Amino acid sequence: MRIGVCYFPEHWPRERWKTDVAQMAEAGLEYVRMAEFSWAVLEPERGEFEFEWLDEAVDLIGEYGMQAVLCTPTATPPKWLVDERPEILQAEPDGTVREHGSRRHYCFNSAAYREETDRIVSKLAERYADDPHVAGWQTDNEFGCHRTVRCYCDDCADAFREWLAETYGSIEALNEAWGNTFWSQRYASFEAVDPPGPTAAEHHPSRLLDYARFSSDSVVDYNRLQVDLLREANPDWFVTHNFMGRFPTLDAYAVSEDLDLVSWDSYPTGFVQDRLEGEPTPDQLRAGDPDQLGMDHDLYRSALDRPFWVMEQQPGDVNWPPHCPQPGEGAMRLWAHHASAHGADAVLYFRWRRCLEGQEQYHAGLRKQDGSPDRGYEDAIRAAAELADVGEADHVDASVALLFDYDNLWALDEQPHAPDFDYWSLLDAFYGACRARGVQVDVVHPTTALSGYDAVVAPALHLVTDGLAKRLTDYVETGGELLFGPRTGVKDEYNKLRPAPQPGPLADLVGATVDQHESLPSQVETRVCRVDGDETYAFRTWSEWLEADAATPLFEYDTDGIEAGRTAAVENGVREGRVVYCGVWPGADLADALVAPLLERAGVPSCDRLPEGLRVGERGDYTWVTNFSSDRFAIEPDEDVEWLVGERTVDAYDVAVADGRIVDGLSVERLDSR
């Protein structure tokens, strides 16, 4: 596990570079990422290339024993290029052009921009092909950031029509697959189909789903163009891309197929404000949420398996969330350890020094604006030293898989059927229950081979094909433990209902069908109880009335309403395995009541339910304990253990690393709250 930093030498006088790079090396940093927004510096005028500055920076980094990670500069096409070829710009759904002056203003489907990309990437790749100090490349920067995956320009309209023609073959097949008889939406030709622009009422859900798929595929293609050029120049380089936290519009699995390593950008105190349900707690504002970050780590780690990096790690306060609190004392060190616990092989802080100009002046760096060390610098030094002491850890070997995919996300986002129905938040309920038991989780695409997992959790497998149903049935029949959440098996791959009750092709496996579903606001009482016991549990937002067939009812509605006594969850033994279908969105206690027995049946080692904010994670022969709260805890493993970092008492925002796997039977005591 290595520590690094993102650096913009082009923002600083050359005389300063040596000092900067020396300080990086002194801190124990090993990777320096550069150049992602530097096109206008690399090519100030068409054909006038100025690469010497980057040569010098790379050399200096090499001199100090570090490695450079270079980026293609395509996230920011320069003004001369925009003026020459304005057709590269993106358009909003209403046709408004996204202008130069910020970033990410180019269209992925612009033939002109693909030409220009080819030109600049080839030049750069050639220039550094034999440079021993360049370890690898990042393509572009955060594809799709600022809502730019979906574009509505003329090039995209043409490309969409081609994509549809390729996907469906004939317009009759498209009309049939989408169901275009509804509201007179039949098309006579592919040329007649437009991107979904502004309309009076909502769009057809099948058309929206295909626009989402097409848009994501356009980025996959565009990325591949860059990857091919880089690989051709030097096949030994790794090629990566830096994805974003909980990012909805780009299929990271699909992009990752073309990469050698997957990385992502982690900003914990921002993410709890702009992409987590509810108001953040004071602790979350200081340190973020371990499970929100954990799920992203696990998703990007699982997208390709090893290696996996955090390409940008929050270094201190940042500029873009609604509020910008100072992270808790030691939080920047905590995040690096937490990433390591989830399998990261490198963490690079963004950025080296607070910059004096431009849009991000309110964003901290490891060094302050005057160049002196900032809070994150001390944390980075400590993390680098501690992680070097821990040494090589094997890759995370998770025995539980959580099924997640973007098609389900897009389909559910289009028809949430309740203002608070959010696919990620539903995933959080199930994922959080696993993590609270100390269990490592792979977040995988439903088509992944599942036989290596002891248990599989599928929170809302909304779109299900016959092929997928068969694979899941095989998994259970051969001994798998499978837990489904609500809204599973609702539609086919075109986002259309079937002439069969939910869960469609999964009905035999589940041994039950859904008679009715409803979504409910928070003022309605929502409770279930065990069929064979007295415990009651809260649920929220979504419920289904199940009709058990071969299955055994597990939970029933425990309220006075029309749902009283109806079945809410069932369990079905199928040959060697077992499947549980939960028809409600479980609260934390219900999620635990479903997950804990699942883990036990599957033989997955787990611990007592952990307090919120405290998480443990096993990786190789080590166990990380990470405390995202301001409380102090005593960790009580079943057996004595040596602590490589910290000790069994873990302070606010603190870390401990044990030499051994200690989750099985572990318990935790809260010592005091601040």
* Residues at the site binding ligand GAL, with contacts judged by CB under 6 A: 141-142, 145, 265, 267, 312, 318, 320, 350, 360, 363
* Smallest separation, CB 8 to ligand GAL (Å): 10
Whole-angstrom distance, CA of residue 508 vs CA of residue 510: 6
Tokens for 287, please give them.
């340190």
Instruction: For 150-208, give the DSSP string.
Output: ---SHHHHHHHHHHHHHHHSSHHHHHHHHTTTGGG---SSGGG-------SSPPPHHHH
Whole-angstrom distance, CA of residue 650 vs CA of residue 656: 7
Whole-angstrom distance, CA of residue 597 vs CA of residue 446: 22
State whether residue 513 is helix, strand or coil: strand
**CA distances for 271 relative to 76, 296, 429, angstroms:** 24, 11, 17
The residue type of 511 is G
In the list ligand GAL, Zn ion, none, the entry touching 153 (Cβ below 5 to 8 angstroms by class) is: Zn ion
In the list ligand GAL, Zn ion, none, the entry touching 363 (Cβ below 5 to 8 angstroms by class) is: ligand GAL
Nearer to ligand GAL, 350 or 453 (CB): 350
Indicate the Cα dihedral angle 608, 611, 612, 614, nearest 10°.
-90
Q: Which residues contact 388 (CB under 8 A, 6 or more apart)?
A: 28
- Residue pair 620/601 in contact by the 8 Å Cβ criterion: no
* Smallest separation, CB 142 to ligand GAL (Å): 4
Whole-angstrom distance, CA of residue 436 vs CA of residue 558: 26
Whole-angstrom distance, CA of residue 390 vs CA of residue 133: 26
Given 30, 36, 142, 414, the catalytic residue: 142
Question: What DSSP state is assigned to residue 328?
Answer: P
Binders in 89-118 for Zn ion, by CB under 5 A: 107, 109
Nearer to Zn ion, 156 or 569 (CB): 156
Q: At what angle do helices 375-390 and 331-341 cross, to 10 degrees?
A: 30
Whole-angstrom distance, CA of residue 167 vs CA of residue 269: 41
Tokens for 602, please give them.
């599957």
Burial of 79 (0-12, 13-18, 19+ CB in 10 A): exposed
Nearer to ligand GAL, 87 or 360 (CB): 360
Nearer to ligand GAL, 318 or 546 (CB): 318
Nearer to ligand GAL, 3 or 174 (CB): 3
**CA distances for 204 relative to 171, 180, 475, angstroms:** 16, 8, 34
List % helix, strand, coil for the chain (3-state, nearest 5): 35, 25, 45
Given 30, 36, 116, 312, the catalytic residue: 312
Q: How many residues bind Zn ion (CB under 5 A)?
A: 6
Nearer to ligand GAL, 73 or 446 (CB): 73
In the list ligand GAL, Zn ion, none, the entry touching 537 (Cβ below 5 to 8 angstroms by class) is: none
Q: Is 219 among the residues that bind Zn ion (CB under 5 A)?
A: no
* Smallest separation, CB 351 to ligand GAL (Å): 8
Q: Is 153 among the residues that bind Zn ion (CB under 5 A)?
A: yes
Tokens for 492, please give them.
């086919």
Strand ranges in 85-172 using DSSP code E only, listed in sequence order: 134-138
Tokens for 349, please give them.
């802080």
In the list ligand GAL, Zn ion, none, the entry touching 69 (Cβ below 5 to 8 angstroms by class) is: none
Nearer to ligand GAL, 103 or 661 (CB): 103
* Smallest separation, CB 75 to ligand GAL (Å): 8
* Smallest separation, CB 162 to ligand GAL (Å): 31
State whether residue 357 is helix, strand or coil: coil
In the list Zn ion, ligand GAL, none, the entry touching 156 (Cβ below 5 to 8 angstroms by class) is: Zn ion
Q: What are the backbone angles phi and psi of residue 97, rounded to the nearest 5°?
A: -80, 140
β-pair partners for 555: 530, 569
* Smallest separation, CB 17 to ligand GAL (Å): 20
Nearer to ligand GAL, 249 or 526 (CB): 249
> Nearest to residue 404, comparing CAs of 265, 268, 539, 247?
247
* Smallest separation, CB 226 to ligand GAL (Å): 17
* Smallest separation, CB 6 to ligand GAL (Å): 8
Nearer to Zn ion, 156 or 427 (CB): 156
* Element (DSSP H or E) covering residue 68: strand 67-71
Binders in 155-174 for Zn ion, by CB under 5 A: 155-156
* Smallest separation, CB 166 to Zn ion (Å): 18
In the list Zn ion, ligand GAL, none, the entry touching 454 (Cβ below 5 to 8 angstroms by class) is: none
In the list ligand GAL, Zn ion, none, the entry touching 145 (Cβ below 5 to 8 angstroms by class) is: ligand GAL
Nearer to ligand GAL, 182 or 320 (CB): 320
Tokens for 73, please give them.
């500069």
Is 142 an annotated catalytic residue? Answer: yes
- Residue pair 623/658 in contact by the 8 Å Cβ criterion: yes
Q: Is 151 among the residues that bind Zn ion (CB under 5 A)?
A: yes
* Smallest separation, CB 339 to ligand GAL (Å): 16
**Which residue's CB atom is positioned nearest to ligand GAL?**
142
Is 312 an annotated catalytic residue? Answer: yes
Positions annotated as catalytic residues are 142, 312
**Binding interface with Zn ion (CB under 5 A):** 107, 109, 151, 153, 155-156
